[in-house]
Chains A and B, each alone.
Chain A
Amino acid sequence: MAKLSKPAKIYLAIVFFILYAPIFYLIFYSFNSGGTMSGFENFTLEHYAAVFNDTRLLIIVLNTVIVALLSALISTAIGVLGAIGIIFLRNRKMRNAVLSLNTVLIVSPDVIIGASFLILFTMVGVKLGFASVLVSHIAFSIPIVVIMVLPKLQEMSSSLIDAATDLGASQRDILTRVIIPYIKPGIFAGFFLALTYSLDDFAVTFFVTGNGFATLSVEIYSMARAGITLTINALSALIFVVTLGLVLGYYFFNQRSAANAGTGGPRP
């Protein structure tokens, strides 16, 4: 295959520069002792200190992590069971209908998810706050888990289950000792995606969070609307490192079990 021409290399270099420049620009100015994102004065870590001394902010970070972990765990459990249910649906029409319903929340714009959940919570009478945010995150993560688990289930030969049945395994044994171990990579991929979807979400949370509760995204939004504070820069540098760690960790985890996977590609 032909090697890349020079213009092609320059083009790619420009694209990569534009993609990464804003991120490094943010991180660079997090070390600025001047208060703005222009004109670098001196190196300082004071903005990082500000992040770690801000109890309110730390509580918000804790909230965000708790919501992400809980919602990922619960949505993975429900999603995995749902995917197994879909696989065992013998009626083709029914199965397609369930699959279409499953994708609705994946393709819907966040604004619509947020707005409709807001109506739902208000109608049911759920107080907006931690509970409504957690439930929404579980709700929009479930279909992603199902999508990640289904291909693994589809490639699993049904003779495995027949064999287990013949050997006298109960329904419960089949689930916990045959199916779940087999689809483990899909479950991990689903859990990981659910985690990042929750950490990343702004729009849905923005709609269903009340006054007393905030996640990091919502907090950053209100800070950014107020103007530039280098605390956000320090915060974003920290988030960048954590995100990078998660993505690379997931990537290598995936590579290791890629021999039989092929689906769990990274989410753009």
Chain B
Amino acid sequence: MTNRSSRPWYLAPYYIWILLFVIAPIALVVYFSFLDLAGDFTLENYANFFSSTYFRMTLSSFWYAFLITFISVLIAYPTAYWLTKTKHKQLWLLLIIIPSWINLLLKAYAFIGIFGLYGPANQLIQFFGAGPLQILFTDFSFVFVAVYIFIPFMVLPIFNSLDKINPALIDASRDLGASQWTTFRRVIFPLAINGVKSGVQAVFIPALSLFVITRLIAGNKVITLGTAIEQQFLVTQNWGMGSTIAVFLILFMIIIMLLTGPKEKGGALNGKAK
């Protein structure tokens, strides 16, 4: 190759972008996390974060994210598994994915109607003889809607890794006398564990930072880290505290990504959920 030490002009915009919109924003968030309301240097925000109020909020945010991720895996795994056995599997997969392209707000809005006092969910409950229940603005509705939104993000990576398994391995396992359950437990599941990992990665972090659903569906009953950041920035106008929570959210994100290992190829775009 010829030496291309001379940097062409056309690279400039991209590097400017990295500087201005990747490095600078993170630096600013870290910087602001050390500022109090008056703009003076302080460590108070960090002290506050470890106070009981914020600590409890962080724990509950993690608990909900865990619950949402866990239920998503439970529902998505069989879905992905059986989808790989359908005849037109790519088409069925596309049908699973299409709902994820619908704007999140519209889906949340649909559930405001469905879970409403006179909505279909309550009509079903009344059909079975119980009185109308308050479903909207509970943690149940929050978890339900969140799982609904994240299901496609979980199905896709699991489907991809299940689909990649060489069927000869499964035949071999059968020939060697393994039962269907043993084959699943000892062959299929370990081979597809990377798909589950990328799915967890694609769901857990967004679940920690959700704030649209908490506002619209959980009605402030549930406060996630994302809701807290939004609140500090746009309602309380305490950017320092908001930045501190953001710093911790970034730290949690890095830890989770390290725990769930490198992403599968092609799964790189899964993380874009609100």
Binding site for B on A (CB under 8 A): 1-4, 8, 11-12, 15-16, 18-20, 22-23, 25-26, 29, 36-39, 77-79, 81-82, 84-85, 88, 90, 98, 101-113, 115-120, 123, 139-140, 142, 144, 146-147, 158, 162, 165, 171, 175, 193, 196-197, 199-200, 202-203, 206-207, 216-217, 220-221, 224-225, 228, 232, 236, 239-240, 243-244, 246-247, 251, 263, 265-268
Knowing A26-B113, A36-B118 are in contact, say whether A1-B14 is a contact too (CB < 8 A). no
Interface flag for B235 (CB, 8 Å): no
Interface residues as binary, B77-120 with A (CB distance below 8 Å gives 1, 0 otherwise): 01100110110000010111111111111111111111010111
Most buried by B among A113, A118, A203, A268: A268
Contacts of A12 in B (CB 8 A): 79, 82-83, 86, 92
Contacts of A244 in B (CB 8 A): 98
Knowing A8-B82, A112-B29, A228-B112 are in contact, say whether A101-B272 is a contact too (CB < 8 A). no
CA distance A8 to B111 in the complex (A): 27
Question: Which of A82, A220, A247 interacts with B98 by CB under 8 Å?
Answer: A247
CA distance A175 to B215 in the complex (A): 48
Q: Restricting to B212-235, which residues have a CB under 8 Å from any CB of A?
A: 212, 215-216, 226, 229-230, 233-234
A-B pairs with beta carbons under 8 Å apart, 20 shown? A4-B86, A15-B79, A15-B96, A22-B148, A36-B113, A38-B120, A81-B10, A98-B18, A110-B274, A111-B226, A112-B29, A140-B21, A216-B103, A224-B109, A225-B215, A228-B113, A265-B269, A267-B269, A267-B270, A268-B97
Contact (Cβ within 8 A) A158 B1:
yes
CA distance A84 to B123 in the complex (A): 57
Question: Which of A108, A118, A202 interacts with B103 by CB under 8 Å?
Answer: A202
| Interface secondary structure of A, over-half rule | helix
Contacts of A20 in B (CB 8 A): 99
Knowing A38-B118, A268-B97 are in contact, say whether A142-B111 is a contact too (CB < 8 A). no
Most buried by A among B14, B94, B107, B211: B14
Contact (Cβ within 8 A) B18 A101:
yes
Question: Which of A22, A26, A38, A162 interacts with B123 by CB under 8 Å?
Answer: A38
Interface residue total, chain B, C-beta cutoff 8 A = 92
Interface flag for B177 (CB, 8 Å): no
Q: Restricting to B35-75, which residues have a CB under 8 Å from any CB of A?
A: 75
Contacts of A158 in B (CB 8 A): 1
Knowing A111-B211, A267-B101 are in contact, say whether A225-B153 is a contact too (CB < 8 A). no
Contacts of B148 in A (CB 8 A): 18-19, 22
Shortest Cβ gap from B209 to chain A (Å)? 4
Contacts of A113 in B (CB 8 A): 25
Given contacts A105-B22, A207-B233, A247-B101, 10 further A-B contacts (CB under 8 A): A2-B85, A8-B82, A36-B113, A38-B118, A39-B118, A102-B18, A116-B28, A200-B103, A244-B98, A268-B152
Contact (Cβ within 8 A) B271 A107:
yes
Binding site for A on B (CB under 8 A): 1-2, 4, 8, 10-11, 13-15, 17-18, 20-26, 28-29, 32, 75, 78-79, 82-83, 85-86, 92, 94-114, 116, 118-120, 123, 148, 151-153, 155-156, 167, 202, 205-206, 208-209, 211-212, 215-216, 226, 229-230, 233-234, 239, 242-243, 246, 249-250, 253, 257, 266, 268-274
Contacts of A88 in B (CB 8 A): 4
Contact (Cβ within 8 A) A116 B112:
no
Contacts of B216 in A (CB 8 A): 221, 224-225
Question: Which of A23, A117, A118, A175 interacts with B21 by CB under 8 Å?
Answer: A117
Contact (Cβ within 8 A) B205 A107:
yes
CA distance A3 to B249 in the complex (A): 45
Knowing A20-B99, A162-B1, A171-B8 are in contact, say whether A115-B246 is a contact too (CB < 8 A). yes
Contact (Cβ within 8 A) B106 A236:
yes
Question: Which of B109, B257, B273 interacts with A26 by CB under 8 Å?
Answer: B109
Most buried by B among A38, A139, A197: A38
Contacts of B249 in A (CB 8 A): 109, 111-112
Query: Which 6 pairs between the two chains have the least Cβ-Cβ distance?
Result: A82-B14, A37-B113, A116-B25, A109-B209, A22-B110, A139-B21
